[in-house]
Amino acid sequence: MYTLHHYFLCPASRFIRLVLEEKKIKFNLQTEDYWDPQQSFLLMNPAGYFPILKSENGSPIVGPSVIMEYLEESYEKNFLFNKKFNSEIRRLVFWFENIFKQDVISPILYEKIYKRFEENKNPDSSILRKSNENLKFHLNYFNILIGQNDWLVGDKISYADIYFSANMSVLDYIGELNFQGFNEVKELYYKVKSRPSFKKILIDRIVGLNPGKNYENFDY
């Protein structure tokens, strides 16, 4: 049995959690402190980033891309690559793991979550405004990609769509997601969000922080 060391509002953690569900791999969840990881977590990954997948007798597998590659190689059920588009899928996974995180996720989580729960401070509205401008740029780009394919890449669901939806769901939970003008993005998110793999994530809650009003909806 695997253990996934995760943080609930970490998109990379959600991504791997969804992949495990899609591949029907049994696992347990171990919630970690995103802002102040415990020593046991740092012994597995001194860099302190999420997530970590660990088997009972195996070495820890660290980071979303590495875990993704490991699971795809190890489990034949429900392949989420597409031979024709593998390089493009990996490019978009990198985009979500690095560029989208830097432009959108990290500053929003810091301002809305860390400041509230760790520092008891109000968010900086100028940083949130800039992050939301960045978000619109990314959504417009995704809108173009989806308009060409129905999915982000090719004609079936892939790791790119799952990582995309993991990110959207975090923004959805904290009320920072507005699909106005981005219909293709909205449709893809709700298409993935309605899959059985998403069910448990939509039920989870953070104490003291209720989700946005549309978080559990599959259309609006």
Q: Domain-by-domain residue ranges, the chain? A: 83-195
Q: Are 65 and 94 in contact (CB under 8 A)?
A: yes
Query: Which residues does 116 contact at the CB level (< 8 Å), separation at least 6?
Result: 123, 209
Instruction: Kindly list the averaged pLDDT for each block of 10 residues, start to end, along the chain of length 220.
Output: 95 97 95 87 90 88 96 84 89 97 97 88 95 97 91 94 98 94 95 95 89 80
The predicted structure's pLDDT at residue 172: 96
Q: At what angle do helices 86-94 and 159-173 cross, to 10 degrees?
A: 20
Instruction: Note the CATH number of domain 83-195.
Output: 1.20.1050.10
Cis amide linkage into residue 51, ω under 30° from 0: yes
Residue 20 CB contacts under 8 Å (≥ 6 apart), including other chains: 2, 4, 27, 71
Give the pLDDT score at 220. Answer: 56
pLDDT at residue 56, as a whole number: 76
Burial of 126 (0-12, 13-18, 19+ CB in 10 A): exposed
The single-letter code of the amino acid at 117 is F
- Cα separation, 55 vs 20, in Å, equals 13
State the angle between helix axes of 11-22 and 159-173 in degrees (0 to 180), rounded to the nearest 10.
Answer: 130
pLDDT the model gives residue 58 = 81
